[in-house]
Chains A and B, each alone.
Chain A
Amino acid sequence: MRGIERRDRSRPPLVMHGSYTTGSPYAPHTAEDRTAMLEAVDAETVEELFDIPAAVRFDGQFDIDARTERETRRLVRSVLGRNDDRTELLGRGHYGYYIPSLVDHLADRSEFLTSYTQYQPEISQGFLQALFEYQSLLVELTGLEIANCSIYDAATALGEAATLADRVRDTSGHRVLVPERMREERKSTLENYVAGTDLVVETYPVDDGNVDLAGLEAAVDEDVVMVYAESPTVRGTIEEQLGAIGDLAADVNAFFALGSDPIALSLLERPADVGADVVVGDASVLGLPTSYGMGLGLFATKEDYLRQVPGRLVGVSEDATDRRAFTLTLQTREQHIRRERATSNICTNQAWVALRTAIHAAVLGPSGMVDLAKRAVTRAEALAERVDDIVGVQAPVHDRRHFREFVAHVDQPASAVAEDLERLGFAVHVVGDHEIQLCVAGVPDEELDRFVEALEEVAR
């Protein structure tokens, strides 16, 4: 079996690097060094330094062969080579925008890549400033005063929003309301985050893709601690009633948590203007290419909740020369100080992705970001019109404005249409027996032209 690796014992041991003979290619000890070091610590062998009782000593092998760098690269290339190359019209929370070269080249500078969390701010000013600028970007996009410098992804950020709502004194109760249409994975993650609290997650109805306001109103009562809504929604529709949703939540002192992302927020209503208490979402729509769902949890909230915010915060201070300097701050909220009373267990986060997002946003500038957002509307709606002209396809299914993606009805079974499209080189979502979902993010116009031709071929 390919996946179960066994060592090839007939193979001579690798000389890992130059004249060095030790096993790890990244341990620079010469035999001479090793002897001198052992002598210094008064040991005959390195094994003597391990204080491990015989009963639990591991005498076996992992059975993993060492490889040269070139062999390892070939191995990974060959394994990943089994992935089929497809034009992906896929979205639903993970997007593959074009990433400018500048982002890779700057973020890959080894000082960014190989540093740790900035526990020594004096020697880490560059990263702290970049994260401070990332926080500022989110403050501008959301209109909320506080943004942390990352949670893992949109789903875990939503989980943190719920526990924040639970901690904040002016909310009480135990119900968290989420739309009946959202990614199940996101909801499941939220459920795990609140499993240790008294909170329960319940759904409210959705009407033609967006919030069913009357249904939500019926569901809201004094026992609601948070109302979650998304714009754009998982089906690509733009929510039209955000202000009214915010009002419903505010009426019962519940949090209004809004799910969005930095590209959508460049054009759509500003969360602060619709009464959002917290904004969550995937900020890696800028900064990361398609990465099998790896993300960057956007988390922004109001200043009132500052002392209850989860995660790292970079703030401004002064150094001994009275110059402005940056530092991680309000660390008494965090696990390494506050332990079981911390606002979250998060430690390692997605800082380097936040750096990439900040660089990407800076490359675009405000005009580029607004333009990208506008094109998410015009290109999605233009594609919907084009596929609607195809016999056997009606689009969009929802009579709403759309952002980046939309659902289309296909007369043929959706799974058969998707399979046929795969054979022609395209990947689409199947979201119902006769529904496919199409996303234009990152797909060049000429690919969309080819896609329309392919759909014409398979949809009839």
Chain B
Amino acid sequence: MSDDGSDSRDTTPEQSRYDQARYVENGEYEPLLSEKDLTRITIGSEDDGNGDDGEATDSPLPDDLTRDALELPELSEPELARHYTRLSQMIYGIDSGPYPLGSCTMKYNPKFTEDVAALPSAAVHPDRSEASVQGTLELLYRLQDYLGRIGGMDAVTLQPPAGAAGEFVGIRVASAYHEHNGEGHRDEVIVPESAHGTNFASAALGGYNVVSLPSDDEGRVDLEALEAALSENTAALMLTNPNTLGLFERDITEIAEMVHDVGGLLYYDGANLNALLGRARPGDMGFDVMHYNVHKTFATPHGGGGPGAGPVGVVEKLAPFLPAPRVCERSEPSQSGEPVYERFDPEHTIGKVHGFDGNWLVLIKTFAYIARLGDDGLADASASAVLNANYLAEQIDYDIPYGPFHHEFVASAGEQDAADVAKRMLDYGVHPPTTKWPEIVPEALMTEPTEVESKDTLDRLAAAFNAVADEDADTLEAAPERTTARRIDQTSAARNPRLSWQALEDDS
């Protein structure tokens, strides 16, 4: 990288490249645990303690209540430390480099949040008495309060264990609300064409017919199409704002009025909330119910697929339908003057959506992140995220058909195949954008750098985009070259599913 900030960076493979760890043994990558060892333990009751083909173990139970044997790897601690350390080296995370995966808001995860989630005082059982877990209840109460303020919502449940679970709660709450008002006939949920796949699936899981809404030429909700879609059968409209193109739905006030006029509810998908912190709140825009994606907006680690948490906020009239229990503060403090927190069941609760109270460890990290940043930090997170997206967009050669965008933009790979572009970007030591979605942009490269990247990193990221933009189809199709594995055959995986090491044995 050059020191003077000029565009003279050298992106040739000799000067800027990335080689991921790659272990090869006997011609194959890192062996499976089962290839390192398999030990069979046979289980027999005390009176017949045998063991013909493995280590025998006396069982306290009669044979008819037990299995015959268990066969798994039996490895020493040093061997396991090495196994999993090697596996970790074959993974690219945010701490490895930029991760501009559009719609996923892959921010840096502050390390201290792991420390507070690991506090011994946090390790309590959900069936403890309320009086003995006042700390847990206080944290949950304060987080409900934080999230209510941030979203402009009157009441919050922390129970949904992920964003999609939050959507499902929103749908169930809407259903219970309509039912309560004698309007159980409402059987349609409207979802924009470009929405997250979970919106459609959550509405369908809730038993609704999904009405798909096309966008207008500018990439926003088409008001005429919305008018046509709305009816007395509309239960809700699910909307992301800014939408998946990063565009703010400028007509949001009118959209809210239209939905409310037919008696429907307006649902806010919180996936893109990182664009708006401190500048606009779903509650003020007329949304009745929303979920928060805490691993996106509030930087809890995604852990390679989860756990997340998907708290749901609602306006006053929907609060009685939220899942049980929620946490409230008792009007009377304790004898020592401390506030006392207790669980309560909302009056018309839909019941439970998780066996206990959700992903507690993730909620602690969420609370800690918000408490650390405060008003200024949260507002700056959005400002820097929007600035970063706009700056990066300015630096890349691909066409970006829709704007003005906020925290993310969708570029088009044009004549190139977006999936191939992504594979080739891996060779430049960056994570590629989300590809081929939303479909409104041909060969979409949905890009969200978040606020955590510096100008230098964005320049390096842009250089990767631009280097790939200049490469030919053969190079792209041959990519990636420098990752642990080379291009993986998806078709073969699906045509001949081998989903366990046992299946591999059967295969050979």
Contacts and interface: CB of A to CB of B under 8 A. Distances in A.
Contact of A37 (B30, B114, B146, B455): B455
A185 B92 contact: no
Interface in A41-75: 41, 43, 46-47, 49-53, 55-58, 61-69, 72-73, 75
A49 B406 contact: yes
Contacts of A16: 377
Contact of A66 (B104, B118, B373, B489): B373
A156 B165 contact: yes
A272 B115 CA distance: 41
B454 interface: yes
A346 B73 CA distance: 30
A156 B504 contact: no
Contacts, number: 680
16 contacts: A7-B374, A22-B384, A24-B451, A29-B384, A46-B384, A62-B278, A77-B121, A113-B109, A129-B32, A267-B61, A270-B67, A294-B359, A295-B355, A316-B504, A348-B164, A352-B304
Interface in A355-387: 355, 359, 361-363, 365-367, 369-371, 374, 377-378, 381
Interface stretch (A169-177, A211-219, A306-314): A306-314
Interface stretch (B221-229, B247-255, B466-474): B247-255
B8 interface: no
A335 B198 contact: yes
Given A76-B139, A325-B29, A27 B57 contact: no
A238 interface: yes
A285 to B, nearest CB: 13
B489 A317 contact: yes
A339 B57 contact: no
Contacts of A47: 383
Interface in B324-383: 329, 338-339, 341, 350-362, 364, 367-368, 370-381, 383
A69 B372 contact: yes
B1 interface: no
A270 B139 CA distance: 41
Contact of A329 (B129, B386, B497): B497
B73 A362 contact: yes
Given A46-B383, A86-B128, A351-B304, A114 B162 contact: no
A362 to B, nearest CB: 5
Contacts of A102: 77, 80-81
A120 to B, nearest CB: 6
B264 interface: no
A229 interface: no
A131 B32 CA distance: 11
A45 B487 CA distance: 43
B267 interface: no
Interface stretch (A189-197, A246-254, A389-397, A448-456): A189-197
B262 interface: no
Contacts of A337: 197
Contacts of A81: 121, 135
A2 B138 contact: yes
Most buried by A among B74, B101, B488: B488
B488 A319 contact: yes
Interface of B is mostly: mixed
A122 B138 CA distance: 44
A122 B426 contact: yes
Contact of A340 (B57, B168, B201, B359): B201
A195 B281 CA distance: 31
Interface string B277-289: 0111100110000
Given A93-B355, A312-B305, A317-B490, A335 B200 contact: yes
A199 to B, nearest CB: 10
B186 interface: no
B204 A348 contact: no
Interface string B450-466: 01111100000000000
A203 interface: no
Interface string A324-340: 11110110101111111
A12 B136 CA distance: 30
B401 interface: no
Contact of B109 (A56, A114, A353, A374): A114
Contacts of A374: 57-60
A330 B494 contact: yes
Contact of B452 (A1, A28, A36, A265): A28
Given A66-B376, A121-B485, A366-B70, A84 B354 contact: no
